[in-house]
Structure 1
């Protein structure tokens, strides 16, 4: 149970769904609906004005789609968590949302409890994906193997490339620390530097970028 009410902005162009979602969340403990809009442009404007904790974002909308709206919101106010709620479950949509800075992705049809838990997670800075989406992403992370590019992310040090490779493998900070013989604090500092240099908000974004660039453990063995 959370102690403070999370301020949520709803963005969906389907009026019936939007109103139903607003009614459901308004009756949910710990959640305050601060606004509900029907297009991405209005979402950006209202998010920057109201500074909600979480934006519940659809993807296909008029004027400005959810991917572009997410990117603009996160770029201007990185502390706002964007949780995608969409019918789209294809990889292109999921990874585009993550690249744009979304901290979560649920499919429409998710149950009330799942939506509430996801809002809480995103509002507290975590990254969360619905069961079907999480399985799809993990499958992608396990199987995506491209030829490493020596020119990928030249702004990173060799040690940072090693840490990024382990992050791309799905290892957490403690596992990376054990494998590389470092302290967890040192790994955490490396990860923070990597995220800052790559201009990403969280690990999922970094993993997608690393995979698409071909970064893999085979590309960055143990650095001194």
Structure 2
């Protein structure tokens, strides 16, 4: 039997935490292992418990961006799903740069949240449609440090994988599109992240948009 996905909720509003817990507790494959009300407490809790997913509010004491950065530093196996009502472009990009994998607004329904937790635990990037649009708009201008030499490290196959990653496609879908095995896709993804010195698929997608690989 597959063990449940272990989740930490980080939000400074008690009622919000209680609401999220009340729903996720009804899902047999999800288990709430802890709650935090600040960036520092979230990071400490994740370091102690090593949950699969941390649900992090963007606006709380210490900040969600800093919470994400500390969680990723102290518990590398924990994926961060930002859950907030905040839509500021700079905050979105900062959260992704800090290591957040997924980003949902609090107007998402309960089933969408549960599905996002499951997919985030599997390493899939989930973005609320409005957030995805804002993120793409925010990163369309090429970055000053996005030099061609970094992209030159990629093989043609790896560039193709990077383009499909930028579309938010899973390894399975990429494998089907390219006509190759899923294990081969995983190898290409690992190579892309290593060569571009990126942490995860979300950062790779942002990189693809910023450098013009994906337009």
> Would you call these one fold, judging by a TM-score over 0.5?
yes
Residue 53 (structure 2) aligns with = 54
Please tell me whether the aligned partners of residues 11 and 57 of structure 2 are also in contact (alpha carbons under 8 angstroms). Answer: yes
What do residues 70-102 of structure 1 show as CA deviations (whole Å, max 9, x unaligned)? 112113322211111011112212211111111
CA–CA distance in structure 2, aligned partners of residues 135 and 157 of structure 1: 24
Displacement after TM superposition at 1:35 (Å): 0.7
Of residues 84, 87, 90, the one that matches 2:85 is 87
Of residues 196, 200, 203, the one that matches 2:201 is 203
Please tell me whether the aligned partners of residues 81 and 122 of structure 1 are also in contact (alpha carbons under 8 angstroms). Answer: yes
Does residue 160 in structure 1 map to residue 154 in structure 2?
yes
CA spacing shift, 1:159–1:135, aligned 2, 3 Å = same
For structure 1, the residue ranges without an aligned partner over 5 or more in a row are 219-224
Displacement after TM superposition at 1:193 (Å): 2.6
Please tell me whether the aligned partners of residues 46 and 74 of structure 2 are also in contact (alpha carbons under 8 angstroms). Answer: no
Residue 39 (structure 1) aligns with = 38
Alignment length (residue pairs)? 207
The structure that has the greater radius of gyration is 1
Q: Which is worse superposed, 70-79 or 34-43? A: 70-79
CA spacing shift, 1:175–1:201, aligned 2, 3 Å = farther
Q: RMSD of aligned C-alpha atoms?
A: 3.3
For structure 2, the residue ranges without an aligned partner over 5 or more in a row are none
Q: Give the alignment of 1:33-182 within 5 angstroms.
A: 33-62=32-61, 64-139=62-137, 144-146=140-142, 152=147, 154=149, 156=150, 158-160=152-154, 163=158, 167=162, 170=166
Please tell me whether the aligned partners of residues 78 and 201 of structure 1 are also in contact (alpha carbons under 8 angstroms). Answer: no
State the TM-score, normalized to the length of structure 2. Answer: 0.79
SS of residue in 1 equivalent to 2:154: helix
State the TM-score, normalized to the length of structure 1. Answer: 0.76
Please tell me whether the aligned partners of residues 165 and 216 of structure 1 are also in contact (alpha carbons under 8 angstroms). Answer: no
